[in-house]
């Protein structure tokens, strides 16, 4: 749906119901449809903030120059990072699965790098010490044991 919304010139013309009517799986569980609609609508409503967050880590890449699939996988994942309680590692794994299916191997590496960097940024902003960075106490005890 984000891909479809991205190619529509006027985002106001995009409708999730039109997507389901034309392309959706008629057998899909209603709860799943409601969830999918909510994250697409939420992503579109927060696109400036989401794109700004992506820009901070997409060095030398303008969002509009990224492949449509790749930028929308990133947008969906960053929306989940910022506005939902889904664990960030789960979000990254799901984004990579979508990229593997609909994009290229190189895209999975690109998406993984950007999302991992954003995940670390968010951890720092929330005062969490990312697992990749040992705490000062751990560094001191390691230094004193050497």
Residue 36 neighbours by CB under 8 Å, 6+ apart: 1, 16
The helix-helix angle for 47-57 and 30-45 (nearest 10°) equals: 70
Q: Is residue 26 part of a domain?
A: no
Question: Which CATH number covers residue 87?
Answer: 1.10.940.10
Q: Is residue 98 part of a domain?
A: yes
Distance CA 118, CA 51 (A): 12
User: Is residue 121 within 8 Å of residue 57, measured between CB atoms?
Assistant: yes
- Count CB atoms within 10 A of the CB of residue 135: 9
Q: Does residue 143 surpass a pLDDT of 50?
A: no
Which residue is listed with tokens 């044991």? 145
Percent share of the chain, pLDDT over 90: 54
Domains: count for the chain: 1
Q: Residue 11's pLDDT is what?
A: 61
**pTM to 2 decimals?**
0.81
Q: How confident is the model at residue 4 (pLDDT cuts 50, 70, 90)?
A: confident
Distance CA 130, CA 119 (A): 9
Q: Is residue 18 part of a domain?
A: no
Which tokens is 71 given? 């930028």
Burial 117-126 (b: 16+ CB within 10 A, else e): ebbbebbeee
Bigger pLDDT: 133 vs 23:
23
- Count CB atoms within 10 A of the CB of residue 146: 4
Work out the average pLDDT over 110-137.
Answer: 78
Radius of gyration for the chain, computed over Cα atoms and rounded to the nearest angstrom: 18
Residue ranges making up the domain that contains 110: 41-129
**Of 54-58, 64-68, 85-89, 131-135, where does mean pLDDT reach its minimum?**
131-135
For 76-95, how does the pLDDT look when each residue is reduced to its tens digit (9 = 90+)? 999 999 999 999 999 999 99
Q: Is residue 95 part of a domain?
A: yes
Q: How confident is the model at residue 142 (pLDDT cuts 50, 70, 90)?
A: very low
């Amino acid at each position: 749906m984000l891909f479809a919304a991205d190619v529509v010139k006027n985002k106001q013309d995009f409708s999730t119901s039109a997507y389901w009517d034309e392309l959706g799986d008629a057998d899909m569980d209603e709860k799943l449809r409601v969830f999918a609609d909510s994250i697409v609508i939420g992503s579109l409503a927060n696109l400036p903030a989401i794109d700004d967050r992506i820009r901070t880590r997409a060095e030398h890449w303008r969002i509009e120059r990224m492949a449509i699939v790749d930028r929308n996988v990133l947008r969906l994942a960053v929306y989940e990072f910022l506005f939902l309680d889904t664990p960030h590692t789960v979000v990254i794994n799901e984004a990579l699965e979508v990229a593997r299916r609909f994009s290229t191997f190189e895209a999975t590496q690109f998406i993984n790098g950007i999302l991992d960097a954003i995940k670390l940024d968010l951890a720092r902003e929330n005062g969490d010490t990312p697992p990749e960075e040992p705490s000062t106490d751990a560094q001191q005890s390691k230094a004193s044991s050497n």
